[in-house]
Structure 1
Amino acid sequence: MKAYHIYLIRHGITQGNDEGRYIGSTDQPLSARGEQELKKLAGSYRYPDAEAFYTSPLQRCARTLEILYPDVSPRVVPDLRECDFGDYENKSMDDLKDDPGYQKWVAAKGGITPPNGESVEIFQKRCCAAFAGIVNELLRAGTTRAVVCAHGGTIMFILAAFGYPKYPFYRWMTGNGLGYEIVITPQLWMSAQAFDIAAPIPENAPDTGLSGLQSVMDALKQNSEN
Structure 2
Amino acid sequence: MNDIYLIRHTTPAVAKGVCYGQTDLDVTESFEQEAATIGLHLPEGIDLVYSSPLQRCARLASRLFPGQPLSLENDLMEVYCGEWEMRHWDELPKHEIEPWMADFVNVRIPGGESYLDLQDRVGRCWSVITGQAPDRRIAVVAHGGVIRSILAGITNTP
- TM exceeding 0.5: yes
Amino acid at match of 1:161: G
The 8 Å contact of residues 50 and 141 in structure 2, kept in 1 or not, is answered as yes
Task: Report SS of the residue matched to 2:20.
Answer: coil
Offset of residue 149 of structure 1: 0.5
The 8 Å contact of residues 38 and 64 in structure 1, kept in 2 or not, is answered as no
Identify the structure with bigger relative contact order (alpha carbons < 8 Å, sequence gap 6+): 2
Partner Cα separation in structure 2 for residue 41 and residue 70 of structure 1: 16
Offset of residue 66 of structure 1: 2.0
Number of equivalent positions: 157
Q: Which runs of 4+ in 1 moved over 4 A?
A: none
Task: Report SS of the residue matched to 1:30.
Answer: coil
Partner Cα separation in structure 2 for residue 119 and residue 46 of structure 1: 32
State the superposition RMSD in angstroms: 2.0
**Is it true that 1:63 corresponds to 2:59 in the alignment?**
yes
Amino acid at match of 1:122: D
1:76 to 72, 81, 84: 72
Partner Cα separation in structure 1 for residue 65 and residue 102 of structure 2: 40
Partner Cα separation in structure 2 for residue 105 and residue 42 of structure 1: 33
Offset of residue 75 of structure 1: 1.0
Q: TM-score, normalised by structure 2?
A: 0.87
Amino acid at match of 1:63: R
The 8 Å contact of residues 2 and 136 in structure 2, kept in 1 or not, is answered as yes
Gaps of 5+ in 2: none
Deviations 1:20-54 (A, max 9, x none): 22221111111223x143244157x2422211111
1:35-184 to structure 2, matched below 5 A, reads: 35-42=31-38, 45-49=40-44, 50-96=46-92, 98-136=93-131, 138-139=132-133, 142=134, 144-163=136-155, 168=157
Task: Report SS of the residue matched to 2:105.
Answer: coil
Gaps of 5+ in 1: 170-226
Q: TM-score, normalised by structure 1?
A: 0.63
Partner Cα separation in structure 2 for residue 13 and residue 146 of structure 1: 23
Higher helix share: 1
Amino acid at match of 2:6: L
Deviations 1:96-143 (A, max 9, x none): 2x442123322333331111101221210110110111111x12xx45
Task: Report SS of the residue matched to 2:18.
Answer: coil
> Is the radius of gyration larger for structure 1 or structure 2?
1
Amino acid at match of 1:152: G
Structure-2 residue corresponding to 1:31: 28
Identical aligned pairs, as a percentage? 31
